Homo-oligomer: A and B are copies of this chain.
Amino acid sequence: MNIYDIAQKAGVSIATVSRVMNGSGKVSAQTRDRVLKIIEEENYTPNIFAQGLGQGTAHTVGILVPDIDNLYMSSALSCLENALTEAGYLCILGCSTYAASAKEAHVRMMLDKKVAALILVGSTYAGSGLSPEETDYIRQAAETVPVFLINGQVDGKDVYCATCDDRSAVLEVTKALLENGRRRILFLSDSHSFSARQKLSGYEEAHRALSLEPDPSLNLHIHNNIEETKGCLKALFPPNGPQAFDAVAAVEDGLAIGALKYAQEAGIRVPEDLEIVGYNNSRLCQCCTPELTSVDGRLSDLCRVTVENLINVLDGEDDVPALTTLPALSLRRGTTKN
C-alpha cells in the first residue's frame, strides 16, 4: 500500500494525498476527511513518517550517482545537497557504479529505505539507447516514488528529467571548428550514454550541414583518464608521423586535456595547428596551458530546476514539466582560435 493506492481508493490525485499528509495547500474539509479515513482504514504509514528520521516532517531524498570521485558528479551532489538541505530535506547518498545490475539494485535499495523521491545524476541512468527495456527499472521505481533524472532523458509516468541541450552545443562547437577550416576533427568520448550520443549527433550534423562526412576512424571511444588518453593517442597516432587530426571535440574535459598533453609531447602547436574543445567547464580547464575552451552544461542550473520540481511534485503541484532542457554555454579559452 503506497500513496498511489491511497489516491486511487480516495478518488483523488497523489498531489491531494500529499497535501493532506503535509497539512499544506488547499484541500476541502470533505476531501481531507475522506483521505484521512482511507489512510486510517489501510493502516497506511506514509514514507515521511515511516522513515523515523527526525521529527517526522523531514522528507528523505535518495540521490544516486555512478561515481562520486568525478568532478561532474561531485559538483551535482554539492548543488543538490545545498538546495535540498535548505528546503528541509535530508539526503541519502548512494554510489551505484555504471553496471546495469548495480544501478537497478541501488534503486531498489533506495526504495527499501523509504525515500520520498529519488534523484539519479548522470546520463548513464538513461541507458545506452540500445533497448527501451534498459530503463524499465526507472519506470518501475516511479510507481513508488517520483524519480528525477539529471542529464538523462527517460519517458515515464512520474519521471522528471532535466537535461542540457548537448546536441546543439556540440553542433555549434563543431561548426565553429569547420568554419576555421578544420576538416579532421577527432571526436573523443568515454561512454555511449544518452548525453554522449547527443553530442555525437551534434558533431555529425555539423559535418552534414556542409555536405561533409566525418572520418569514422576519428570517432574514438576511450577511457577517460588524462594519462591513458594521452597514451592511447600516442599509440594510435605516432607523434613522429603525419598530423592525423587538426581539431578535437571531446565529451569531457579530461579527455580534451589528454589530447592537449599528447599535442604538447608531439610538438603540435595549440591552437595554431590543433584546436581543442572540452565539455563540462570543470576546474581542470584552468589548470592546463593554454587553458581549455569548454562547454558549460549548466549543471548547477539543472540541479536547481530538479530541486524546484521535486519540491513542487511532493507539494502536490500537477503541472511540473516532465522534461526541462536548458541551452549550454560555450566558453572560449586558449585552446581554440578567436
Contacts and interface: CB of A to CB of B under 8 A. Distances in A.
Nearest to A300: B69
Interface in A258-292: 261, 264, 283-284, 286-289
Contact of A91 (B92, B254, B264): B92
Q: How many copies does the complex hold?
A: 2
A168 interface: no
B85 A78 contact: no
Contacts of A94: 81, 85, 91
Interface string A189-209: 000000000000000000000
Interface string A110-138: 00111000000000000000000000000
Interface in A56-81: 67-71, 73-75, 77-79, 81
Nearest to A75: B69
A52 B114 contact: yes
Contacts of A78: 67-69, 95
Nearest to A95: B81
Interface in A8-66: 50-55
A287 B114 contact: no
A311 to B, nearest CB: 18
A71 B72 CA distance: 11
A249 interface: no
A104 interface: no
Nearest to A80: B68
Contacts of A312: none
Nearest to A53: B113
Contacts of A326: none
A95 B85 contact: yes
A54 B112 contact: yes
A132 B161 CA distance: 48
B85 A74 contact: no
A172 interface: no
Contacts of A226: 283, 286-287
Given A77-B68, A93-B91, A93-B93, A54 B287 contact: no
Contacts of A284: 283-284, 287
A82 interface: yes
A50 B56 CA distance: 13
19 contacts: A52-B114, A53-B112, A54-B112, A68-B74, A68-B81, A69-B74, A69-B75, A69-B79, A73-B74, A77-B93, A78-B95, A85-B94, A91-B92, A226-B286, A227-B286, A261-B286, A283-B284, A287-B288, A289-B289
A-B residue pairs, 8 tightest by C-beta: A74-B74, A52-B52, A287-B287, A69-B78, A68-B78, A93-B93, A81-B95, A68-B77
Interface of A: 50-55, 67-71, 73-75, 77-79, 81-82, 85, 90-95, 109, 112-114, 226-227, 254, 257, 261, 264, 283-284, 286-289
